[in-house]
Amino acid sequence: LDRSQAVFEAAQRRIPGGVNSPVRAYKSVGGTPVHIASGKGALVRDLDGNEYVDLVCSYGPLILGHAPPDVNAAVAAALEKGTTFGAPTEGELSLAEEICSRVGVAEQVRLVNSGTEATMSALRLARAATEREAFLKFNGCYHGHGDSFLVKAGSGALTHGDPDSPGVPRALAALTWVTEYNDIDETRALFERSGDRIACVFVEPIAGNMGTVLPEPGFLEGLRELCDRHGALLIFDEVMTGFRVARGGYAELSAVQPDLVTLGKVIGGGMPIGAYAGRADLMSQVSPAGPVYQAGTLSGNPIAVAAGLATLRKLDAAAYVRLERSGKRLDEGLARIAKARGIPLATGRQGSMLCPYFSNRPVRHFDDVVASDRATWTRFFRAMLEGGVMLPPSPFEAWFLSTAHDDAIIDRVLAAAERAFESL
């Protein structure tokens, strides 16, 4: 990793931690972060020429794999006409129509440039629409780095939030309330105490930022019922699950429908993008149709829109059949190998997003994730990297597959896992 090492050392002088997003710095697993030179399909190559099967897939966007020909062609064609105009274009309408045709609750969409912008904006809209200031999120869920979201469960009686980062004003953090994911009783108690103050509930319908934790039966249903009873909005943060777990996102798989949904990652096909969408009576309150201000220089830019449209248009029913086949093959293969070696492994999976935990109990809450054997996980991460498979460098990150991860690629991952488990 000589070249990665050299670039990383120089980068740390010019970029905080040498990276532009913290997880990439390998803090959880130690060692030099592998710097990537190129990617194609399911494979990436580092600066020193080493090849890996990529299970990071940029933390979700690359559902068609690296440099898919149709997406690259669409971007190249768009580039010929310029990159951004600061004026409306037809492509933005096409992408909005495409999103609304797939996401049941979406009657209107506003495009932004990241998941963080999408959740920040949706929160502002929810606060405006309900004229309430407090909102609820869940321990272990991540909704981007907006101030109101960098809050951990508070010590206060009302579970008032405490800042999870310096620089987040305490007065703001106090308006973020935090309860346990999959614990509808604690959430119901909070609503009964203060439901009239809650503007909205933000939830990852599948928690993809503490690995992959599925909602227990009754959890999302309970949130819907509590929001309806107390006049709060239910917001599904589908930045990660949107168009990942089904053609219409998680909401297609569930009887529970949110009032607003936030999107990102897949809808940009690898280019910077985010979106928030929902019923017209809510979205029509957003500027300039309504008073809730939100803006962005590159929002809806033709390049991201071209990449997103090309991606969504490839995601037909057959694509999701392939994604499920690959996810199932990997999940079952890992379970078989771990069982043969007597190593406790619990895996959360939905389609092509999954996370194995070294745990002898099912992972239902954040504390189950924290209790899993992260030292063994780190040794596993290292052994897999040695074996030519690049996992996300943190036990709290979901693994992602793409339509380019075919049976041969999955079997190559399982062969590396066989050797990695032997070394544990």
By annotation, the residues acting in catalysis are: 142, 237, 265
Q: How far is the CB of 119 from ligand KE4 (least distance, A)?
A: 6
**CA quadruple 78, 82, 83, 85: dihedral sign:** negative
Q: Which is nearer to ligand KE4, 91 or 144 (CB)?
A: 144
Give the integer Cα–Cα distance in Å for 98 and 418.
42
Q: How far is the CB of 136 from ligand KE4 (least distance, A)?
A: 16
Q: How far is the CB of 193 from ligand KE4 (least distance, A)?
A: 27
Tokens 């310029």 correspond to what residue? 82
Q: Which is nearer to ligand KE4, 208 or 348 (CB)?
A: 208
* CB 390 within 8 Å of CB 54: yes
Q: How far is the CB of 344 from ligand KE4 (least distance, A)?
A: 25
Residue at 197: amino acid letter: R
Q: Which is nearer to ligand KE4, 57 or 338 (CB)?
A: 57
- Count CB atoms within 10 A of the CB of residue 249: 27
Q: Is the peptide bond before 215 cis (omega within 30 degrees of 0)?
A: no
Q: How far is the CB of 167 from ligand KE4 (least distance, A)?
A: 17
Q: Which is nearer to ligand KE4, 98 or 237 (CB)?
A: 237
Q: Which backbone phi and psi does 143 adopt, to 5 degrees?
A: -125, 30
- Count CB atoms within 10 A of the CB of residue 75: 18
Which residue's C-beta sits nearest to ligand KE4? 115
Q: Which backbone phi and psi does 286 adopt, to 5 degrees?
A: -85, 135
Please name the helix (run of DSSP H) or strand (run of DSSP E) that holds residue 234, with its range, or none: strand 233-237
Q: Which is nearer to ligand KE4, 141 or 337 (CB)?
A: 141
Residues that bind ligand KE4 (CB under 6 A): 21, 23, 59, 114-116, 119, 142-144, 204, 208-209, 237, 239-240, 264, 274, 397
Give residues with Cβ within 8 angstroms of 369, minimum separation 6.
140, 210, 211, 213, 357, 363, 395, 396
* Greatest distance between any 2 Cα atoms in the chain: 61
